[in-house]
Structure 1
Amino acid sequence: MILTIACIGAGFGTLSDARAQSSNRNEVRAAISEHGWYVVWGVTINEAEYGKFTYAVANSVAGTNPGPVMAYFSHLAERNIDKVADQAPALSRRLVQDLVIESLDNPGRTISRANLQLRGGIATYRRWKTVRVPDGTERYKIYGPRNPFTGKRTWTYGYRPKFKSVRVPLPNHHQPYVKFRILRPNNPPAVAQLFTFWSYGSAQGGGFFKKVGADWVEIKGGKHWASFREVNATSTSVTLFDPSRNMQVRLDGRKAYWRYPTGSWNYLFERVQ
């Protein structure tokens, strides 16, 4: 079973220079933390600092000195390295620190030692600001006083400036990260053990439930809807087969997909629990 390292989360803050309303930071961070990873975020850096960070990684690797890289992880305190090492007792504290550097030197690659998995990288956030700019003129009516005898009002056309809102790109921001995952010894990270209940939102509500062995059922509106057999499980998803409809369903941490055995996967719905 995969265990997230929740105990090292205290004190990890967010930075105000990458606000959700003016960047895609939330979406990027959610994608990085999928599938049971706990993410340690470094400081947010701009385009100029990006090169300095990669240089610091190279120096840390070449000189076996973690100091230049750790300077970018203001929240990665000494105690957090200790806590990670405590949950991976086969690894020394210095080895865990070296693995952090190695993961950042090989972004996107999963590094495994004993029961610890690490993956490092740099998240890139698109940023923008919304401004109002002139967009020609618009015509409107200007009414004069009402005629006391006819009751009618005179009017003429006037013109005033018109504006529209446009999104102006700002320089990207970047944020280095290292994410951790602890595996129980002698227990591989099979999603079949993690997903015993997978619910989705609909008019009636429903979900997939794992029974004994490899059998699953789908319940919709409080009633049995379909029966499935588990045919495959990986570290990120589980695949079910419905023989009555000759159809497969794949469940991952956030979404469900379906297909016929010889077809391509199609989006089905989002997970709500």
Structure 2
Amino acid sequence: MTVSDSLYEQDIPFIFPDWSGLPSSIRAISTLRDGGISQGLYGAVTGGGLNLGEHVADDPVAVEYNRKKINRLLPSDVIFLSQVHGNIAVNSNNLTPGLEADAVVSSQPGSVCAVLTADCLPVLFSDVAGRVVAAAHAGWRGLAAGILQNTVDQMRLQGAAGEILAWMGPAIGPAQFEVGQDVFNAFVSVNENTANCFFEKRSTSQAKYLADIYGLAAKLLAGAGVTKIFGGQYCTVSEPEKFYSYRRDGVTGRMASMIWIEPDQ
């Protein structure tokens, strides 16, 4: 049994993505808010929270403990990006702590690709050959700016073979994601087919919409040639017992979605 296989035997509650066609050499997980020692606004409904974000004013000792608890289960320590809601996807070989980017791509076995979220959409990728994996942080700004397409392009540059699979992790659901005309315009100006991912709220004096971030991501992925897309059934805002949510709570923790190629044993 590998270190990564021990994930299934831990007291930490993970989401294990269910996506058809994923090569057996690929491992992927998404954390929940439970399972660590963070307290207060960063805690869990039933105890300590597994906040993994250093930038949210949580006790640094708790965050360090939570990160070490996760790292012990992985083939390598996670180096987290400094996420800026942009469209830059970087090679994991060039990854350093604090590097500003919103996606990381790897063809190196044992190198963990990870992003932090608390309403924004995490998307995990693998090619069907199991040669290249990636993790992308996709808030609406990054989505509109092309972060998912750039991630796919970077995967191809690193040798991704055949079809690319994508899994959409926990994000704000379409019944909770209220946006303005600016967000609608940002998407429709780059892809008019995204218009049907917005549902107008007619009871307001200004133009307001409910946006389906999962639907938006699926359309943009399809435009990049990725059609085998899984996940997308969660709502971070509506499930406080499971997920941190910035929109719901304002001050809150961050969850991680991670993927890697299992190293040879």
TM-score (norm 1): 0.27
The structure with more strand, counted as a fraction of residues: 1
Please give the TM-score of this superposition, normalised by the length of structure 2: 0.27
Which structure's CA Rg is the greater one?
1
